[in-house]
Amino acid sequence: DAKTTQPNSMESNEEEPVHLPCNHSTISGTDYIHWYRQLPSQGPEYVIHGLTSNVNNRMASLAIAEDRKSSTLILHRATLRDAAVYYCILRDVGGFNKFYFGSGTKLNVKP
Partner 1 sequence: NAGVTQTPKFQVLKTGQSMTLQCAQDMNHEYMSWYRQDPGMGLRLIHYSVGAGITDQGEVPNGYNVSRSTTEDFPLRLLSAAPSQTSVYFCASSYSYSNQPQHFGDGTRLSIL
97 binds partner 1 (CB under 8 A): yes
Among 76, 98, 108, 110, binds partner 1 (CB under 8 A): 98
Stretch 12-51: interaction string toward partner 1, x if CB under 8 A = ------------------xxx-x-x-----xxxxx--x-x
Among 11, 99, 108, 110, binds partner 1 (CB under 8 A): 99
Distance CA 1, CA 94 (A): 9
CA pair distance 31, 15, nearest whole angstrom: 32
CB of 56 to partner 1, least distance (A): 16
**DSSP codes, 42-73:** S--EEEEEESSS-EE-SS-EEEE-TTSSEEEE
